[in-house]
Amino acid sequence: MASGTDSMSLSWRIKERAGFTTVEFSGEIDENTDFSELTNRLTGSVVFHLQQVRRINSCGVREWVNFVRDLPNVTDLTFAHCSPAIVTQLNMIYNFRGGATLRSFYAPYICDDCEIEEEKLIDIASNFGEGKEHDPPEFLCEKCGEPLEFDDLPDHYLAFLNEV
Ligand SMILES: [Zn+2]
């Protein structure tokens, strides 16, 4: 780790499950991120867990797009638990997902009264099925019980769902 910065290079944990593989990513994606080990190793059905990816710089976006575009032995790819940083890229970079199916993502919510900010996990299929409006699901504040407010512009934050 470089001294004087709070940067945290990307790491991952691979777990072999029955019939599929999960990869849990953690840290930041930048020009130093080398995906070649993963490219060679991943086969079959693969699920990326992306909750702990907190930041991606422009060079990192390029590395990522090249990585997900060329996974020769992966038959199907799913992105799950996408962090707000991932959602931002999904909204801006049209091929950020490669051929992946999106399963779930985190969205920012807030209770003004309690000054509580929370990221809530949203399952795409059960909340944004075909023919449904792209309204963010409602969550209640755990402290006061009132509905939390969506802490972004829904049309902006949820734009990537138009391509799901
Ligand atoms: Zn509250």
| CATH number, residue 116 | 3.30.750.24
Where would I find the H helices in the chain? 36-41, 58-69, 84-92, 124-127, 154-157
Strand blocks (E) in the chain: 11-16, 21-29, 44-56, 74-80, 101-102, 104-111, 116-123, 149-150
- For the entire predicted model, the pTM comes to 0.91
Domains of the chain: total: 1
Q: How far apart are CA 117 and CA 43, in angstroms?
A: 38
Residue of 162, 157, 10 whose CA lies nearest to 87: 157
104 Cα to the center of ligand 1, angstroms? 25
Query: Amino acid letter at 147?
Result: P
Quote the domain boundaries for residue 130: 11-163
Q: Is residue 20 part of a domain?
A: yes
Average confidence score pLDDT of the chain: 92
Tokens representing 68 are 């997900």
120 Cα to the center of ligand 1, angstroms? 15
Summarize pLDDT for 49-72 with one digit per residue, the tens.
999 999 999 999 999 999 999 999
pLDDT band at 3 (very low <50, low <70, confident <90, very high): very low
Taking residue 164's Cβ as centre, other Cβ atoms within 10 Å add up to: 16
Q: Is residue 146 part of a domain?
A: yes
Q: Is residue 91 part of a domain?
A: yes
The gap from C-alpha 57 to its chain's centroid, in whole angstroms, comes to 15
Q: Which residues surround ligand 1, an ion (CB under 5 A)?
A: 111, 113-114, 141, 143-144
139 Cα to the center of ligand 1, angstroms? 11
122 Cα to the center of ligand 1, angstroms? 20
